[in-house]
Amino acid sequence: MPRFTPPETLDAIAAWISQTPHGVGMAELFHQFGDRMQRRTLQRRLALLVQQNRLQVEGQERGRGVRYRRVAAPSQPPTDLSDIPRASAALPAEADLPTSVEGREIRAYVAQPRHLRQPLGYRLAFLEAYHPNHTAYLPPPLRAQLHSLGRSPAAQTPAGTFARDILHRLLIDLSWASSHLEGNTYSRLDTERLIEHGQAAEGKDALETQMILNHKQAIEYLVLQPEHARVDTETLVALHAFLSDGLMADPAAVGRIRRRAVEIGGSVYLPIALPQRLEELFGIVVHMAADIVDPFEQAFFLMVHLPYLQPFEDVNKRVSRLAANIPFIRHNLCPLSFIDVPQQAYVDAVLGVYELNRVELLRDVFVWAYERSCQHYVAVKQQLVPPDLFRLRHRQALAEVIAAVVRQDEALTESAIQRRIPSTLAPADHAHFVQLVQAEFSALHPGNAVRFGIRPLELAGWLERHGGNFCQK
- Mean pLDDT for the chain? 86
**56: alpha, beta or left? (left if phi > 0; alpha if psi -120 to 50):** beta
Residue 2 has pLDDT above 50, yes or no: no
Residue 94 has pLDDT above 70, yes or no: no
Q: What pLDDT score does 380 carry?
A: 61
| Dihedral angle over CA of 461, 407, 246, 242, nearest 10 | 130
Show the 3-state SS of the chain.
CCCCCCHHHHHHHHHHHHCCCCCEEHHHHHHHHCCCCCHHHHHHHHHHHHHCCCEEEECCCCCCCCEEEECCCCCCCCCCCCCCCHHHHHCCCCCCCCCCHHHHHHHHHHCCCHHHCCCEECCHHHHHCCCCCCCCCCCHHHHHHHHHHHECCCCCCCCCHHHHHCHHHHHHHHHHHHHHCCCCCCCHHHHHHHHHHCCCCCCCCHHHHHHHHHHHHHHHHHHCCHHHCCCCHHHHHHHHHHHHCCCCCCHHHCCCCCCCCCCCCCCCEECCCCHHHHHHHHHHHHHHHHHCCCHHHHHHHHHHHHHHHCCCCCCHHHHHHHHCCHHHHHCCECCCCCCCCCHHHHHHHHHHHHHHCCCHHHHHHHHHHHHHHHHHHHHHHHHCCCCCHHHHHCHHHHHHHHHHHHHCCCCCEHHHHHCCCCCCCCHHHHHHHHHHHHHHHHCCCCCCHHHHCCCHHHHHHHHHHHCCCCCEC
Q: What pLDDT score does 236 carry?
A: 97
Q: What pLDDT score does 62 carry?
A: 47
Dist CA 67 CA 69 (whole Å): 7
CATH architecture of the region 7-70? Orthogonal Bundle (1.10)
Which tens digits make up the pLDDT trace of 412-471? 888 889 999 988 888 888 998 998 898 888 888 877 888 888 888 888 888 888 876 554
Q: What pLDDT score does 177 carry?
A: 96
Domain ranges of the chain: 7-70, 101-383, 389-466
Q: Are strands 24-25 and 67-70 parallel, antiparallel or unpaired?
A: antiparallel
Q: What pLDDT score does 59 carry?
A: 72
Between these two residues, 27 and 90, which has the higher pLDDT value?
27
Which tens digits make up the pLDDT trace of 335-375? 999 999 999 999 999 999 999 999 999 999 999 999 999 98
Q: What pLDDT score does 187 carry?
A: 95
Q: Mean of the pLDDT values across residues 126-147?
A: 94
Burial of 171 per CB tally in 10 Å (0-12, 13-18, 19+): buried
Averaging pLDDT over each range in 78-82, 90-94, 217-221, which range is the top one?
A: 217-221
* CATH, domain 101-383, list 3.40.50.2020, 1.10.510.10, 1.10.3470.10, 1.10.3290.10: 1.10.3290.10
Q: What pLDDT score does 451 carry?
A: 81
Dist CA 146 CA 367 (whole Å): 8
Between these two residues, 82 and 388, which has the higher pLDDT value?
388
Dist CA 155 CA 158 (whole Å): 8
Which tens digits make up the pLDDT trace of 393-426? 888 888 899 999 999 989 888 888 999 998 888 8
Domain 7-70 identical in fold to domain 101-383: no
Residue 88 has pLDDT above 50, yes or no: no
Q: Mean of the pLDDT values across residues 135-160?
A: 87
Q: What pLDDT score does 107 carry?
A: 94
Q: CA dist 401 to 116, 261, 460, Å?
A: 63, 49, 18
Spatial contact of 368 and 340, defined as CB atoms under 8 Å apart: no
Which tens digits make up the pLDDT trace of 26-60? 888 888 887 777 888 888 888 877 766 678 888 75
Which tens digits make up the pLDDT trace of 232-278? 999 999 999 999 999 998 999 999 999 999 989 889 999 999 999 99
pLDDT level of residue 139 (50, 70, 90 thresholds): very high
Q: What pLDDT score does 371 carry?
A: 93
The answer to whether the predicted template modeling score (pTM) of the entire model surpasses 0.75 is no
Q: What pLDDT score does 78 carry?
A: 58
Residue 283 has pLDDT above 90, yes or no: yes
